[in-house]
Amino acid sequence: MENISLLLVEDEDVVALPLEKTLQSMGYTITGRVKSGEDAIKHLEGSYPDLIMMDIHLDGEMDGIEAAEAILSRYEIPVIYITADSDRDTLERVKRTAPFGYILKPFSPESLNLGIDIAIYRHRMEKELEEKNRELDAFTYSVSHDLRAPVRNISRYAELLLEDSKTSEENAEYVKRILFATEKMDGMIDGFLTLSRLGRSELKPEKISLDEISNQIVNNLKESEPTRKVRVSVEPGITNFADKKLISIALENMISNAWKYTGKVENPEIEIGTVNREGRVLYIKDNGAGFSPEKSEDIFIPFRRMHSESDFPGTGIGLASARKIIDRHGGKIWAESEPEKGTTFYMALP
């Protein structure tokens, strides 16, 4: 068996001491045994274990879930909870930390060993997947960046041809088509670059107010189109633990989408709130153009459009960006819609 190191965070010696001996007998290395979240964080300043075994009720001011949140904001160390708690409220709080395991007391050596094996395997697979995604994003960025220069050169030469008095009226029409195509291509390249940047940026989770971010986005949209009268309601007190910059981008794309596709209805309405669907889920509901339910996955594909560009201009990259951001957080985003009856987007974060 490979040498796997563990940090034990457990406040009761009657549990911690037998647990330590059991794990050592299985061949695991114990880097430390502490009784509080504060001591666990301090321990990590001089030691970097492969895995943390975390109780929920601890000595000190923070419990195990708060300690895990603090640790995960600084380190990429998987956490397995070992606890007697199985109530729904605790489980919902635990989900925010995307745990690699949840072992209920009393536990057997077999359940411990299995839980650790699965957590280590999952962590390794996730790291490999992240590396492959980084390589793919780097490739996409490189190709998109290299394409930009020739596309813009074509655009410049086309503009020169239009300015040339020797260009016939018929040829000028062809040149205008070239310009239109290069502008569209340039927009697609920008979209690819945006997606690759989202995949390469570092996640910095913190407690954020989704309602405050949503209200700011709505205010910006109203300022950009002061003549539009859109009824918007935002539920107060919506918070989550996530990267503020990236989640703001995702929310802006989804709210802007609702704003745009309510542009042709008589009494446009947008509602932003939460609903309980095996946990608190944020939704953004509008009464706009909508689309066929069978297309609910297609809208998240880059450059895939449900409506003509002449009716609703755009690059077709916003919702793909939102999905990439939510996926990076380990969450889920989906949509429900019907033509002419509006769309509801749902965003579930751990």
User: Tens of pLDDT along 284-332?
Assistant: 999 988 888 888 888 888 777 665 565 556 667 788 889 989 988 888 9
* 5-13 mean pLDDT: 94
Q: What is the CATH number of the domain that holds 174?
A: 1.10.287
Per-residue pLDDT band at 272 (split at 50, 70, 90): very high
- Classify residue 274: in a domain, yes or no: yes
334 bridge partner residues: 346
Crossing angle (nearest 10°) for helices 109-163 and 169-200: 160
Are residues 214 and 156 both part of a single domain?
no
C-alpha to C-alpha distance for 153 and 204, rounded to whole angstroms: 38
- Classify residue 172: in a domain, yes or no: yes
DSSP conformational letter for 147? H
Percentage of the chain beyond pLDDT 90 is: 44
C-alpha to C-alpha distance for 59 and 198, rounded to whole angstroms: 39
- Classify residue 72: in a domain, yes or no: yes
Q: Are strands 205-209 and 79-83 parallel, antiparallel or unpaired?
A: unpaired
What was the pLDDT predicted at 80? 95
What was the pLDDT predicted at 339? 86
Are residues 350 and 210 both part of a single domain?
yes
DSSP conformational letter for 293? G
C-alpha to C-alpha distance for 255 and 73, rounded to whole angstroms: 28
Quick check: 134 and 190 in contact, CB under 8 A? no
Residue 79 pLDDT more than 90?
yes
Structure-model confidence comparison of residues 131 and 35, the more confident one: 35
Residue 198 pLDDT more than 80?
no
Structure-model confidence comparison of residues 263 and 120, the more confident one: 120
Closest to 317 in 3D by CA, of 140, 126, 187, 229: 187
What was the pLDDT predicted at 65? 94
Residue where a domain stops, chosen among 165, 200, 235: 200
For 44-63, give one letter per residue: b (16+ CB within 10 A) or e: beeeebbbbbbbbebeeebb
User: Which residue matches tokens 């001089």?
Assistant: 46
pTM value surpassing 0.75: no
What was the pLDDT predicted at 307? 58
Residue where a domain stops, chosen among 152, 178, 200: 200
- Classify residue 319: in a domain, yes or no: yes
Are residues 143 and 210 both part of a single domain?
no
- Classify residue 56: in a domain, yes or no: yes
Residue-wise pLDDT for 212-252, tens only, equals 999 999 999 999 999 999 999 999 999 998 999 899 999 99
- Classify residue 212: in a domain, yes or no: yes
Q: To 5 degrees, how large is the angle CA 71–CA 75–CA 77? A: 85
* 102-116 mean pLDDT: 90
Number of other residues whose CB lies within 10 A of the CB of residue 11:
17
Residue 192 pLDDT more than 80?
no
Tally of structural domains, the chain: 3
What was the pLDDT predicted at 4? 92
Residue 201 pLDDT more than 80?
no
Are residues 188 and 221 both part of a single domain?
no
Cis status of the peptide bond prior to 106, with omega within 30 of 0:
yes
Token output for 230: 């859109």
Full residue range of the structural domain in which residue 133 is found: 126-200
Residue where a domain stops, chosen among 166, 184, 200: 200
Are residues 189 and 220 both part of a single domain?
no
- Classify residue 121: in a domain, yes or no: no
What values do phi and psi take at 96, rounded to 5? Answer: -60, -25
Among 3-12, 224-233, 273-282, the range scoring the smallest mean pLDDT is: 273-282
Per-residue pLDDT band at 39 (split at 50, 70, 90): very high
Are residues 53 and 94 both part of a single domain?
yes
Quick check: 319 and 291 in contact, CB under 8 A? no
Token output for 302: 């880059």
Residue 164 pLDDT more than 90?
no
> Within the chain, where are the H helices?
13-25, 37-43, 64-72, 88-95, 109-163, 169-200, 210-224, 244-261, 318-328
Question: Mean pLDDT for the chain?
Answer: 86
- Classify residue 63: in a domain, yes or no: yes
Give the containing element (helix H, strand E) for 5.
strand 5-9
Are residues 321 and 248 both part of a single domain?
yes
